[in-house]
Structure 1
Amino acid sequence: MSKEVRISTAALLAVAGLSGEAIATEKQQVLYGSSSQPSFVGPDDKFTGDVSVQMAFPGQDDVPYSGAYVTFEPGARTAWHDHPAGQHMIVTKGTAITATRDGQVIEFHEGEAVWCPEDVDHWHGATPNSSMTHFVVTASKGDENVRWKEKVTDEQYHAALAATQHHHSHAHYDAISERYQHLTLVAAFAASDDLGSLKVAINQALDHGTTINELKEALVHLYPYGGFPKSLNALGTLMSVVDTRKAEGKTDAVGDEPNELPEDSLTLGTEVQTELVGQPVAGPLFDFAPVANTFLQKHLFGDVFARGILNNQDREMLTVAILASMSGTDPQLRSHINMAMNTGITQQELSVLADYLGHTTTRTVGQRIADAIEATSK
């Protein structure tokens, strides 16, 4: 929780090596706590799809600009509009697209910013398959900071998307199977808690023949690496999608059922771990906390890997996608790059996976896989 604290002026001056004469202002800094400003859902007459706005700071009389986080679910976008004094847009998550009346189309990503000058008709939003959040700094002129116009049609939206496609060559994605593309995308969105994008990815996977039980198993596989909350939320999303599709009259393949849990999961898991790593696993960390390796061997590589439906190669591809979609997992990601190659996955396939997830989720995910490949190849 944010809080304001005060220390004496004398103490501040002593630290800064200044005298009292150096301060000649009564102005004070102002803290705007997280979520202290208004939030609202984007109204239907100004947005297409699901959009949420969280104001970060308000405009002031002598500082005529405000800031807000705006989150667009897959396929969502603004109506046409302009800003009398312009606007900066900085992507904080995902990929954004913006287009102007004169045909300029820009696709921009996490950490990239776009300046829209004053009086330029434009729209901006998410791509069809994943959500996007950007931080906007909007200036005002007089009492106006935006002038709304008609909604963007589906034809205009898809024409802008088509204009960006020449920047992406998707042919080389065929180096990994369509099944892997769908499963890893589902796992990546689930690991990053992007449930809106996960719903889209699940529908696409089912439309292309991925079975319900393959998707279930991919999301069960998430829990040893990402935790129960991520796994349970993702499984709930899958259940909701399956129920909706059934109500719409769609028939999706259920697929094979999982195996029963092994009677001696510790022995089996130790064998699987040794095979994946290429040698028995030991080291200072497991000397310090040996039960951690026991849990890995007995439960992860024993119980979870023994469930079937997905083989060891499938599971390592999923693990790479999951770990790359979470922060603070670089050592584990490097280890699983090696384990994936020990199952027969090639470095080229992993590089293609990096490109694929970097384009379909966020550039950060792809870059983390690429960096892990480079680190393990040295």
Structure 2
Amino acid sequence: MTYLNTKQQAMIPIAAFTANGKLDHLSLAIINGLENGLSINEIKEIQIQLYTYVGFPRAINGISTLMAVVNERKSSNIHDEVGKEATPIAENIDILAIGTEVQTQLAGKVVEGPLFDFAPTLNQFLRAHLFGDIFIRDVLNHQDREIATIAALATIQGADAQLKAHYGIALNTGLTQIQLQEITQIITSKVNEDTGNYAKRILKQ
């Protein structure tokens, strides 16, 4: 039986509190993450990715909180691991083609339908930017990105369809049903009981 590792567990409240804007709680979650093996760049990468789901204001506030925590710890002579930078993307790469391949792999099928027929630019942006520019960055793997995304979406009212879709994507990355249940349990215990119950209800569906 495989459970989430310590770093993955620590990502969940970081993503959730970045998404819901509760910065005091986020500070504590960041400290816990740093003390449980997450690097500064891994936490930063979670917050960079989440701007595509919760917007620039929440992502910027999250990174500002991370910066403040890191600087305060430095002043206390605590030096956290910076971690690796993303591998540079080759200049001649077809980012739309790569993003489409990643999206198809994660979704388990070519993503199309009436919504994207109505607004094809939306799917182009998803492919080129979210699944291209962001998901190919190797600071986090796809499983970790989906853990963060699920935790963030669980805090957003009315995101039922998106949360359900990302549970499916998470399974396609190799995460198990038990690990998804563990995510909802951590949300319940570390973030908010109502948020956790919502995440559990959508998972059951």
Interval of TM-score (by shorter of Structure 1 and Structure 2):
over 0.9
2 CA distance for matches of 1:200 and 1:235?
14
Among 123, 126, 129, the alignment partner of 1:293 is 123
Question: Where do 5+ consecutive residues of structure 2 fail to align?
Answer: none
Q: Report if the CA contact (8 A) 2:12-2:186 is conserved.
A: no
- Which residue number in structure 1 is paired with residue 50 of structure 2? 222
Partner of 2:83: helix, strand, or coil? coil
For residue 224 of structure 1, what is the amino acid of its counterpart?
A: T
Which residue is 1:338 aligned to? 168
Aligned partner (choices 225, 229, 244) of residue 72 of structure 2: 244
Q: Which residue of 2 aligns with 1:233?
A: 61
Name the SS for the 2:136 alignment partner.
helix
* 3-state SS in 2 of match to 1:306: coil
Q: For residue 17 of structure 2, what is the amino acid of its counterpart?
A: F
Higher relative CO (Cα under 8 Å, sequence separation at least 6) belongs to: 2
Contact 1:259 1:306 in 2 (8 A): no
Aligned-residue identity in percent: 42
Query: Which amino acid letter does the alignment assign opposite residue 353 of structure 1?
Result: I
Counting only pairs closer than 5 Å after superposition, residues 147-166 of structure 1 correspond to structure 2 as: none
Aligned residues: 203
**Distance in structure 2 (CA, Å) of the matches to 1:247 and 1:264:** 44
Asked if the contact 1:183/1:318 (under 8 Å) is kept, the reply is yes
Alignment of 1:266-281 (within 5 A): 266-281=96-111
2:94 to 260, 264, 288: 264
Task: Identify which range, 257-266 or 308-317, moves more after superposition.
Answer: 257-266
Indicate yes or no: 2:158 matched with 1:328: yes
Question: Bigger radius of gyration, 1 or 2?
Answer: 1
**Residue 186 of structure 1: aligned partner:** 14
1:32 aligns with: none
Q: Which amino acid aligns with 2:76?
A: E
Choose between structure 1 and 2: higher strand proportion. 1
CA distance in 2, matches of 1:312, 1:209: 18
Structure 1: runs of 5+ lacking an equivalent? 1-171
Tell me if structure 2 keeps the 8 A contact 1:347–1:373.
Answer: no
Q: In the alignment, what sits opposite 1:96?
A: none
Measured after TM superposition, the shift of residue 368 of structure 1 is: 2.0
* Offset from partner CA, 1:60-107 (integer Å, 9 cap, x none): xxxxxxxxxxxxxxxxxxxxxxxxxxxxxxxxxxxxxxxxxxxxxxxx
Q: Residue by residue, what CA displacement relative to the aligned partner does 1:10-58 show, whole Å, maximum 9, x if unpaired? A: xxxxxxxxxxxxxxxxxxxxxxxxxxxxxxxxxxxxxxxxxxxxxxxxx
**1:175 Cα deviation after fit:** 2.1
Q: Tell me which stretches of 4 or more aligned residues in structure 1 moved more than 3 Å.
A: none
Other-structure match for 2:145? 315
Partners of 2:5 and 2:17 lie apart in 1 by 18
Structure-2 residue corresponding to 1:143 = none
Tell whether the 8 Å contact from 1:206 to 1:252 is kept in structure 2 after alignment: yes
**Residue 265 of structure 1, CA deviation:** 1.2
The one-letter amino acid paired with 1:326 is I
Q: Please point out which of 29, 34, 38 is paired with 1:210.
A: 38
Q: 1:274 touches 1:281 (CA, 8 Å); kept in 2? A: yes
Q: Which amino acid aligns with 1:225?
A: Y
* Equivalent in 135, 140, 143 of residue 305 of structure 1: 135
The one-letter amino acid paired with 1:281 is V
Q: Please identify which structure carries the higher helix content.
A: 2
Alignment of 1:169-180 (within 5 A): 175-180=3-8
Q: Which amino acid aligns with 1:239?
A: M
Query: TM-score, normalised to structure 2's length?
Result: 0.95
Contact 1:182 1:205 survives alignment (8 Å): yes
Instruction: Please list, as runs of the form range in 1=range in 2, the aligned pairs for 1:346-361 lying within 5 A after superposition.
Output: 346-361=176-191
The CA RMSD over aligned residues, in Å, is 1.3
